[in-house]
A and B are shown apart, each in its own frame.
Chain A
């Protein structure tokens, strides 16, 4: 990467301009809970913002622009909450953008904020994402039954469970793989002081004994419903070099989209996700993700999505993702630790969940992840998906600029 102007690109899909360096200067999040009745939505966001700014050693006055992301407005019933949140986010008198890409929105928010810096428009940009699920009922909001149709919608679980069944059939994975992921993530969450669910004593047996919600998805293999927020400060090269604290250099970002349903859509291994990953690795100069990525924070709202996304992202060949899980390679200390924070399975403030993956990946390469730090992590992936496996956003961060 260099600061040169855009060059005409070769290849019909590589129309990206060269861009400037950007880095995560600080990250912050709330203690995620099922209910935060003590704060408003604004107060929830501000907690994360204050922690991110403290982490970066900056104040709101140092911020040039604010990007905010959240999932569908029906989740809290506040139309365009970014308008009322401007004061809480310190955005008054500054550019304020709202991003919306369903459940992947936190990741997309990080990508948009990074792009504002990479484009040279702003020196320091604040990315904020949130969800206060306790104000409503996301399963209801995701199951609105329009006239003329069969009223079969049953939330995200009802949508994804059949595709998980398809994965199990296609890959031949043993039935307990999903439970292994749940055990690993919940135990990891116990190391994360911000995690909503912290279950150090969970076992394979207890997960398999938990109620079947959307067969084949069990209760303990399902993300919780959380109130929470996350914030990240992204700065340009000068801001990063001026920082007295470790920063996470953004090596590459990538986003892709495809329709929710079309004839030939691969719901197990979606094309948009695979294309986004291929573009990401190319941009970051990574040829073998499993060898070159030290830790991955992947959007896994239902346990089986760990092996599915390991394949979609190229950490394993199609059909082989579950073998990494089964061999313990996705645990801290394994070949590719996945979700050392506990991931979405431990905390799911939906709009924030993607940015949490991005923030946690940055914390890993900054060396600030505390008890769930992957020792020596230098290069990390943050990943999010949303809609009906429709939106994908991801980034690679590292402890050095190139």
Chain B
């Protein structure tokens, strides 16, 4: 994840803060028997479809027949050439799309199929695209049993095929480089999500106060409870919270856990002690880190104070507080925080 960026200087101080949030994971798909055959076929430059209970041939194959709901009996080779049923020009390809230069998204009915498959057509320019045009697959040089083994489709009018057609490929399928003749059963699907995370107006004010070393909460006009971070509305009463309340950087640990388990995406190495810290004057705790004592010395009700990073490092983030540490004062009595558990 990218670190929060400071607001541009040109933005007014009242503008909500915003920073990138990147989420990514390489999902591992188990294909199951039908899609395993389809992907294995692609590695061998063969495109397979399923014959449905209504006699229609579905491409890609349906794992379960849309009419009878039964798994398909046999898969049948189709294409590899086909006809464009409809298309849409993509002038500015985006991350993760099949081609880096402009192309057409097209619904392509492969020869022998009854349904159309979505893929890219590398036609050079939109003027060369037309409904009813004939296209053929361009196979990736290295294939691994993935839909991207078809790099894209290209107009048949472009001239002779260099990489062979499906019929030839099927007859050559005994020796597919890298596949060792084994069926493809898994497929990795990388997912990359790029968000711009925007804080609410109230949270932005709270974060800007943090940048100045202050802790700002808000009081609900109905129940009088103080929320930090402020919510902008009381979740119990449903009314706007407009009154800012500055809170001290001292409080108590209401409850806590010690995180010993390492995990993907972790940013603070385990073990660490994550505590619910209830600031003096607040009515809701927030989670923060406790250092400055052994984990087994941390107690419910223990009094703590914030340890701030050097002011030069402050930004609009809760991380300005490095952690909380014990003050050494007597513990708060259980009854004083029991209703905050």
Contact = CB atoms under 8 A, between A and B. Distances in A.
A143 interface: yes
Given A145-B267, A169-B334, A261-B284, A211 B63 contact: no
A139 interface: yes
Among B29, B268, B289, chain A packs the most CB atoms within 10 A around the CB of: B29
A157 interface: yes
A76 B27 contact: yes
A344 interface: no
Contacts of A35: 30
Contacts of A209: none
Given A135-B27, A136-B25, A144-B23, A211 B260 contact: yes
A43 B70 CA distance: 11
Interface stretch (A117-125, A173-181, A263-271): A263-271
B257 A77 contact: no
A92 interface: yes
Given A150-B288, A154-B261, A37 B341 contact: no
How many B residues are at the interface, by size bracket? 35 or more
A303 B25 CA distance: 30
B297 to A, nearest CB: 13
Interface string A156-185: 011001110110011000000000000000
Interface residues of A, number: 62
Contacts, number: 191
A33 to B, nearest CB: 11
A134 B26 CA distance: 12
Contacts of A216: 257
Nearest to A211: B260
A160 to B, nearest CB: 9
B266 A143 contact: yes
B259 A154 contact: yes
A36 B32 CA distance: 9
Nearest to A260: B235
A54 interface: no
Contacts of A77: 25, 27, 189, 191
A152 B268 contact: yes
Interface in B300-323: 300, 316-319
Given A77-B189, A145-B265, A170 B255 contact: no
B261 A147 contact: no
Nearest to A141: B25
Contacts of A143: 263, 265-266
A201 B106 CA distance: 59
Interface string B1-34: 1111000000000000101110101011111111
B341 A90 contact: no
Interface in B81-135: none
Those 3 A-B pairs whose CB atoms lie nearest each other, nearest first? A40-B32, A161-B257, A215-B258
Interface of A: 35-40, 42-43, 46, 60, 74, 76-77, 86-88, 90, 92, 132, 134-137, 139-141, 143-152, 154-155, 157-158, 161-163, 165-166, 169-170, 211-217, 259, 261-264, 266-268
Given A86-B66, A140-B264, 13 more contacts: A37-B30, A37-B186, A40-B32, A40-B63, A90-B69, A135-B27, A136-B27, A152-B287, A154-B261, A158-B259, A212-B260, A263-B223, A264-B339
